[in-house]
A and B are shown apart, each in its own frame.
Chain A
Amino acid sequence: MQLVQRAEASAFEVIYDRHAGAAFSLAYRMCGARQLAEDIVQEAFLSIWRSGGRYDRRRGSVRTWVLGITHHRAIDALRRGVVQDRHRASDEGIEERFEAEERTDREVARREEALEVRGALDGLPAEQRRAIELAYYGGFTQSEIAEMLGVPIGTVKGRMRLGMEKMRDRLEPPAEVLP
């Protein structure tokens, strides 16, 4: 039994090694506090451990699944009011960035991917980008965003929709839509 548990633990560590960096970066971007980001990621990986790795493969890659759980946990934390000051990490300065110690092909590919997504986001009209960022990274609801920006909810929804459509077209041109 102990051997079996050890094998499961090793698998868990592989998953962790592969995805915890991205999960922590996302949680930190959303809540802007290291300790809370740690709690969020710990909760996310705990739920993965408890689930025994049962996820719906039709919903995409393991990374997508892990990051989806992390995003959900972070939104919960933000809405519970755990974060008193909802300024974002970008305002604080980040002390521990990943440096170039691990120049694997995968790492290079991920950096390129990050640049591509940032480019797609930065290419949006400011009001569309703002609505998407406040919702996805800020964890704000559509009503909160409408109030913050002083526009009707319908306008916020429309901006998010238009922005996402433009990003999709840039990230995944129609000719390359997967079956």
Chain B
Amino acid sequence: MSERCQHADTVAAYLLGALVDAERTQFEAHLAGCAQCREDVATLRVVTEALPLAVEPVAPPPQLREVPDVEPSRSALQVGPAFRAGMSDLALGDPSARR
């Protein structure tokens, strides 16, 4: 078994959002070159994806539902069809909703 990376414990802090910007940038640079930490991030991510589901449900106020009164970004407009496809995919393509 390969030796444990000295940055292994930072994986959890990184995924939980507990690093300040400078630490996060530094760790992401490390990740680019460390397959072991990348794999840890991939396997532990399931936890940070699950944590928001554990909170008490609270109803959002109805006015939040209004479509933003701004244009999509210029880059999104430049790829008009992709924008439409993207929004439609988002609306239809939620794998978690099909489980």
Chain A residues packing against B (C-beta within 8 Å):
4, 7-18, 20-26, 28-29, 34, 37-38, 41-42, 45-46, 48-55, 57, 60-64, 67-68, 70-72, 75, 89-90, 94, 96-98, 106, 109-110, 113-114, 117-118, 120-121, 132, 135-137, 139-143, 145, 154, 156-158, 160-161, 163-165, 167-168, 171-172, 177
The A contact surface, by secondary structure, is helix
Interface size of B in residues (CB-CB distance below 8 Å): 59
Can you list 13 A-B contacts (CB < 8 A)? Answer: A8-B83, A8-B87, A11-B87, A29-B56, A38-B61, A41-B60, A52-B76, A70-B52, A118-B54, A136-B51, A142-B19, A143-B20, A164-B12
Given A15-B90, A25-B58, A117-B54, 12 more A-B residue pairs with CB atoms under 8 Å apart are A20-B64, A25-B57, A52-B82, A52-B87, A61-B95, A61-B97, A62-B95, A94-B56, A98-B59, A143-B20, A164-B47, A171-B46
**A7: nearest residue on chain B (CB-CB)?**
B84
